[in-house]
Amino acid sequence: MKHIGRRAFLIGAAGLSLVGILKPQLVADWVSKQPEAVQEEQEEQVEPAVAPEPKPVDCDYILTNGTIVDGMSNKAFQGNVAIKGQEIAAIGDFTWTPRAKVIDATGLLVTPGFIDLHTHTENYHRQNGQAEMILMQGVTTHIGGNCGTSVSSIEEHLSGIEATGVNVGLFVGYKVLRNKFVGEGKTTNAQLEAMQERLAQGLREGAFGLSVGLQYWPQHYATTEEMIALCQVLKDVGGFYSTHIRNEENQVLPSVEEAIEIGLAAGVPVQYCHIKTAQKANWGKMPKVLELIEGAAESGLDITGDVYGYTFSSLDLDSDRESINEDDLRLALGHPLVMVASDCWLDKNGKSAHPRTYGNYSRILRRYVREEKLLTWETAVKKMAAMPARRLGLHDRGILAPGMKADIAVFDGNSITDCSTRSQPNILSQGMQYVFVNGQLAVKEGEPTGTLAGQVLRRV
């Protein structure tokens, strides 16, 4: 085959230009009719584009080769997590700058820090608690003021927290409102308006919603209509209705129905706290409770619930009684509308009477994930982090993704365990290797560091 070189090509092209018809398409047609050698020579003149090497990720810490459970229901995968400042800088397969402190997470699970939206720990955190019993379970956020028992002033309390080991937020408590404006008995219109005004103020100061404990004095005096009227403030200002229902025992079903009625009538989200059907006479009612929740959700109500991992409540501690049925607990824990919370309590010195304060999250991971396989790791992490973050409206926490706050738990799935018991409730959990709170190391190599990296969280 005769080779036509560059000179021949230029001569031919010049000939075309002499007749005034040198256009790109005509040249292309001419080249296509030439021998293959001509076309190969033209192709050889085009330099292929070379993708630039990706820049190393600039970060303070790098967690390498961990099994990442991101909280978004994605299947766990192996990769790296980079932390810069307070945020996650990158996730996956990448290189990093030499200045990064490297933590080998091989064989460990890397998850978002857990968010406990039902606690009674506001006084402990006001004392600048290091929160080691919380951190050693992988929990990085506590929301206090539950069951209607909160603080008199949201702003004063939150502003008074100088430093604490985990992120903290609050609810406005109905008990506080009623004690201030009503006390016992029926509420007048003027008293109701005063409670509504104070509730709105607390919500504007950053409270995540209204908490009630309708089982307790003096909250049991509240009527359904009064709750609906207060929840109208939530609809206007923001937040959700967090309810310890009126009765968790013989009247559990009508009490769940009341919570649903309040949410639907006011048009506000509902959080059904520490789901249970307590006392033996009510064991086996959990399927009906969950059916009521499902039906409400199908009707358009934004309703979720939470559960802790024990068969005895704080009301059972003075006896050997177990008022909660294990099968009912499993049904609740496994339901897609139910997340994990602890209902824990701490005094100002960090002591508690119930083992769930020191062990709830570790217990669920040990017993119901690793041992019984009721939940997968992915589902458990979603229930402990992403679901409560969504309920609270925390858009920058609860999942592992670039740009999110670096609240991260790193633990050995084969050894994570609760050590607190009914007789010895104040023993730290084991198996948590590293915990980051807002990008700072709060647990290092299985030991709390004492770092007070927590932040005050307000509803936005």
Encode pLDDT of 222-239 as tens digits.
999 999 999 999 999 999
Of the listed ranges 92-101, 123-132, 214-223, 282-291, the least confidently predicted one is 123-132
Query: What does the pLDDT read at residue 54?
Result: 84
DSSP 96: B
3-state helix, strand, coil in the chain (%, to 5): 35, 20, 45
- List phi, psi (to 5°) of 210: -105, 125
Whether residue 37 is predicted with pLDDT greater than 50 in this model: the reply is: no
- Mean pLDDT estimate for the chain: 92
- pLDDT band of 206, cuts 50, 70, 90: very high
Class of domain 61-111: mainly beta
Please calculate the CA angle 304-356-325 and round it to the nearest 5 degrees. 65
**Residues 333-356, mean pLDDT to the nearest whole number:** 97
Whether residue 342 is predicted with pLDDT greater than 60 in this model: the reply is: yes
Query: What does the pLDDT read at residue 46?
Result: 61
**Residues 366-370, mean pLDDT to the nearest whole number:** 98
Give span(s): CATH 2.30.40.10, the chain: 61-111
Query: What does the pLDDT read at residue 44?
Result: 55
Nearest partner of 268 among 294, 230, 295, judged by Cα: 230
Of the listed ranges 126-130, 179-183, 299-303, 455-459, the least confidently predicted one is 126-130
Give span(s): CATH 3.20.20.140, the chain: 113-432+444-448
In percent, the amount of the chain with pLDDT more than 90 equals 87
Query: What does the pLDDT read at residue 158?
Result: 97
Whole-angstrom Cα distance, residue 208 to residue 154? 10
How would DSSP label each residue in 12-73? HHHHHHHTT---HHHHHHHHHTS-HHHHHHHHHTSPPP-PPPPPPBP-SEEEEEEEE--SSS
**Residues 301-319, mean pLDDT to the nearest whole number:** 97
More confident position, 154 or 53: 154
Beta-strand relationship, 172-173 and 167-170 = unpaired
Query: What does the pLDDT read at residue 226?
Result: 98
Query: What does the pLDDT read at residue 200?
Result: 98
Tokens of 36: 């293959």
Query: What does the pLDDT read at residue 21?
Result: 38
Query: What does the pLDDT read at residue 275?
Result: 98
Query: What does the pLDDT read at residue 2?
Result: 41
State the virtual CA torsion across 248, 249, 255, 260 in degrees, nearest 10: 50
Please calculate the CA angle 102-106-107 and round it to the nearest 5 degrees. 150
More confident position, 74 or 140: 140
Whole-angstrom Cα distance, residue 337 to residue 37? 68
Residue 363 contacts residue 418 (beta carbons within 8 Å): yes
Query: What does the pLDDT read at residue 15?
Result: 40
Position 362: which residue type?
A: S
Whether residue 52 is predicted with pLDDT greater than 90 in this model: the reply is: no
H/E segment holding residue 448: strand 447-448
Span 113-432+444-448 CATH architecture: Alpha-Beta Barrel (3.20)
More confident position, 11 or 189: 189
**Residues 278-291, mean pLDDT to the nearest whole number:** 98
Rounded alpha-carbon distances, angstroms, from residue 92 to 80, 85, 337, 413: 5, 18, 30, 20
Q: What are the tens digits of pLDDT across the range 388-446?
A: 999 999 999 999 999 999 999 999 999 999 999 999 999 999 999 999 999 999 999 99
Query: What does the pLDDT read at residue 291?
Result: 98
- pLDDT band of 22, cuts 50, 70, 90: very low
Q: What are the tens digits of pLDDT across the range 236-255?
A: 999 999 999 999 999 999 99
Whole-angstrom Cα distance, residue 389 to residue 46? 53
Whole-angstrom Cα distance, residue 242 to residue 244? 7
Whether residue 16 is predicted with pLDDT greater than 80 in this model: the reply is: no
